[in-house]
Amino acid sequence: MLVRLANGQTDFIDFRERAPAAASHDMYLGPDGKPTTDSVEGYRASGIPGTVSGMEYAHLKFGKRPWKELVQPAIDLARNGFPVSWDFARSLHDPQSIAKLEKFEDSKRIFLNDGKGYQFGDTLKQPELTATLERIRDFGAAGFYEGPVAHKIAEDMRAHGGLLTEKDLANYKTIDRPALTGKYKNYTVITAPPPSSGGVGILQMMGVLEGTDYARTGAGSAREYHFLAEAMRRFFADRSEWMGDPEFFKVPVTSLLNPATIAALRASINPDHATPSSEIKPGVYTTNESTQTTHFSIVDPEGNAVSVTYTLNGGFGSGVTASGLGFLLNNEMDDFAPKPGSPNYYGLIQGEANSIAPGKTPLSSMTPTILLQDGKLRAVLGTPGGPTIINSVLQVALNLMDFGMNAQQAVDQPRIHHQWMPDKLLAEETISPDTIDLLRTKYGHDMILRPRIGEMAVIRLDNGWIEGAPDGRTEGTAKGF
Ligand code: DON
């Protein structure tokens, strides 16, 4: 959670999942040395959940209204139910989701309606979750990390070979970190520090692009997308080697964002042709320096801004519903490198910097971001989407800063994604066929077309005018106060 108060104070609240004490470097390797699916599905996939602690931390530090009043609407929705939306119904009918959820008793009963499924417009009621939320309402984070809820989670884990213990839950701590801040032209970019890779990512890529005339041929031109893809490819190579939990690995943030590093990356781009990823290696940096996801963006009437991305990781997390408690558990352990050098669920190649260790935080791509222009709040943005988060935030920020788009135009503009390995350029199908053709034939990109990349939630401010732009790719909404 990235916060910027109207008085200019900024804060980054890290309530990311952390590895349980019993986690170990090779815990997801089978006897043959190959990664198993345990980091993605089932009881062993969960890191220690952080959301409840993070929300309480934010409330204690910045909140004004009583905690009970804030939790009550969630309780009402859980108890009385809410209508299943089209997008939620679609995801509940997705064969992969069904295959995952039906393996776990509570998940099958609650989310698959005991095998009967939910249709658009059906009411989903969650009595166990109601009781869990009531404890959180009455006892704060202690209602989750201690007492009967913690006990039940741990008991369920013990019964099914999971690792989370009561001690892991009791020891969970939200970490207050300084936000990462950089410059792009006359904008200040306030964003996520490690253990997210996203803030460093967008700042490095903006730095690379700032020194080019990538914007000259206009938004949506093949040449623009080519420059973006080349900046993305290079950042994700660095990410694979140099990024992980800063408590365990010295992330060379200053070197990754050093003007000389950025100039060298820029110089290595061929403006006319794709560089094969096999020719791009992570940079060499010294570390002797000090050292299914949701996003919401908020600006209040006083001008305080909050940008929050949080997640269970994959759709429906590990697939496991904590027995009798009514909520799904995450599969965030897969954000580590289950086998350094081999791809994880998102196909990301990652190294020792992001290997598993007890208490360590898995590297993230979540990139909640705030833009200031001449010191004034100009935009609040972020998105779900795994590694595509970093590139979606980059592109929407550039659409606002370089192409003068309003919030909705910036969100609607088709997006691309490159993550170094695999050496593929993902592109939304709505990009013009001429552009796709040029990217393939003229610039030599190996392309895969996708219906959608990212699901942005953007607020843009302009001289007292506030625009909220949800992403038409799915069913986000914007609300005024
Ligand atoms: O922290 C990360 O980078 C991932 N756990 C985010 C996962 C995600 O965005 C999935 N949503 N579509």
What lies within 8 Å, CB to CB, of 196 at 6+ separation is: 16, 363, 364, 365, 366, 367
Q: Which residue of the set 132, 174, 293, 383 is catalytic?
A: 293
Domains and CATH numbers, the chain: 14-175+317-354 (no CATH), 177-290+365-469 (1.10.246.130)
Check residue 290 and give its pLDDT.
36
Question: Is the CB of 168 within 6 Å of ligand 1?
Answer: no
Closest atom of ligand 1 relative to the 16 alpha carbon: 1
Question: Is the CB of 243 within 6 Å of ligand 1?
Answer: no
Cα–Cα distances in Å, from 157 out to 17, 161, 176, 247, 321?
16, 6, 29, 27, 11
DSSP for 441-480, written as a single string: HTS---EEEES-----EEEEEETTEEEEE--TTTT-----
Question: Is the CB of 72 within 6 Å of ligand 1?
Answer: no
Nearest CA to ligand 1 atom 5: 313
Cα 172 to Cα 478: distance, rounded to the nearest angstrom? 33
Q: Distance from the CA of 385 to the center of ligand 1, in angstroms?
A: 5
Residue of 309, 389, 415, 417 to test ligand 1 pocket, by largest number of atoms within 8 Å of CB: 389
Nearest CA to ligand 1 atom 12: 385
478, with CB counted inside 10 A (0-12, 13-18, 19+), is: middle
- Residue 435 annotated to the active site: no
Residue with tokens 């690379």: 208
Note the pLDDT tens digit of each residue in 272-327: 999 999 999 998 876 443 337 899 999 999 999 999 999 999 999 999 999 999 99
Question: Is the CB of 385 within 6 Å of ligand 1?
Answer: yes
Global pTM reads 0.92
Residue with tokens 């694979």: 240
Cα 285 to Cα 242: distance, rounded to the nearest angstrom? 8
Question: Is the CB of 54 within 6 Å of ligand 1?
Answer: no
Q: Distance from the CA of 386 to the center of ligand 1, in angstroms?
A: 4
Roughly how many angstroms between the first and final C-alpha of the chain, as a whole number?
21
Residues 420/387, Cβ–Cβ less than 8 Å: no
CA atoms within 13 A on the CB side of 11: 18
Check residue 464 and give its pLDDT.
87
Residue of 313, 346, 361, 473 to test ligand 1 pocket, by largest number of atoms within 8 Å of CB: 313
Q: Distance from the CA of 345 to the center of ligand 1, in angstroms?
A: 11
Note the pLDDT tens digit of each residue in 56-67: 999 999 999 999
Check residue 286 and give its pLDDT.
63
Residue whose C-alpha is closest to residue 391's, from 185, 236, 222, 190: 236
Q: In what order do the strands lie in the sheet with 416-417?
A: 416-417, 425-428, 447-450
Residue whose C-alpha is closest to residue 277's, from 204, 347, 216: 347
Check residue 83 and give its pLDDT.
97
Q: Distance from the CA of 434 to the center of ligand 1, in angstroms?
A: 32
Nearest CA to ligand 1 atom 8: 386
Sites in the chain below the pLDDT cut of 70: 286-291
Question: Is the CB of 386 within 6 Å of ligand 1?
Answer: yes
